[in-house]
């Protein structure tokens, strides 16, 4: 992928609302070429979706986030892919990753209450035949998500210089 084309994706990744004309101004690539590149990327699923990051707590909507580590038995011929697919099909699973370390999969789950998350683990996740164990980490506070600061000042703070 050429450097110019990469610039289009970098801009869209930080601002999904950027228009082809705005991207053209920022990169020097003709707007028609920017639009063609975006349409092709959407068709080929290089661009998966456009997303708005919302700080739900500012709207009074509390959410419980949990990171769940899962130890599984890989299946012959498909490894971790089959169990990962079963898990990512659950609507509660926001993200599913194959990870290194003690556990095999990391799952980001969002629910309305801690009990809702716990029920997901107890009733849907743990009973799966290849799941050997789980560890649930509830996220107590989110400071930054998808590159956006959720709490505190948005500006860059300088660190104090020590003598």
What range defines the domain where residue 19 resides? 3-43
For residue range 47-58, what is the model confidence (pLDDT) as tens digits?
A: 999 988 888 778
Q: Are residues 112 and 137 in the same domain?
A: yes
Non-local (6+) Cβ contacts of 131 within 8 A are 70, 71, 72, 83, 125
Q: Are residues 106 and 130 in the same domain?
A: yes
Does 163 reside within a domain? no
Q: Are residues 96 and 130 in the same domain?
A: yes
**Long-range Cβ contacts of 111-116 (<8 Å, 24+ apart):** 111/63, 111/64, 111/66, 112/62, 112/63, 112/64, 113/64, 114/64, 114/138, 116/64
Does 14 reside within a domain? yes
Q: What is the mean pLDDT of residues 109-131?
A: 96
Q: Are residues 72 and 134 in the same domain?
A: yes
How much is the pLDDT for 161?
Answer: 63
Q: Are residues 137 and 60 in the same domain?
A: yes
Total domains in the chain come to 2
Q: What is the pTM of this model?
A: 0.76
């Amino acid at each position: 992928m050429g450097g110019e084309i990469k610039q289009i994706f970098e801009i869209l990744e930080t601002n999904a609302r950027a228009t082809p004309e705005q991207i053209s101004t920022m990169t020097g690539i003709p707007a028609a070429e920017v639009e063609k590149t975006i349409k092709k990327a959407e068709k080929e699923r290089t661009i998966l979706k456009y997303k708005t990051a919302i700080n739900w707590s500012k709207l009074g909507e509390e959410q419980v986030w949990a990171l769940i580590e899962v130890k599984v038995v890989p299946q012959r011929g498909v490894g971790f892919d089959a169990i990962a697919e079963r898990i990512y099909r659950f609507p509660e699973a926001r993200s599913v990753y194959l990870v290194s370390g003690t556990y095999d999969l990391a799952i980001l789950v969002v629910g309305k209450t801690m009990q809702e998350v716990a029920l997901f683990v107890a009733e849907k996740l743990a009973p799966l035949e290849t799941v050997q164990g789980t560890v649930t980490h509830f996220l107590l506070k989110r400071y930054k998500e998808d590159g956006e600061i959720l709490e505190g000042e948005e500006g860059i703070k300088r660190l104090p210089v020590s003598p």
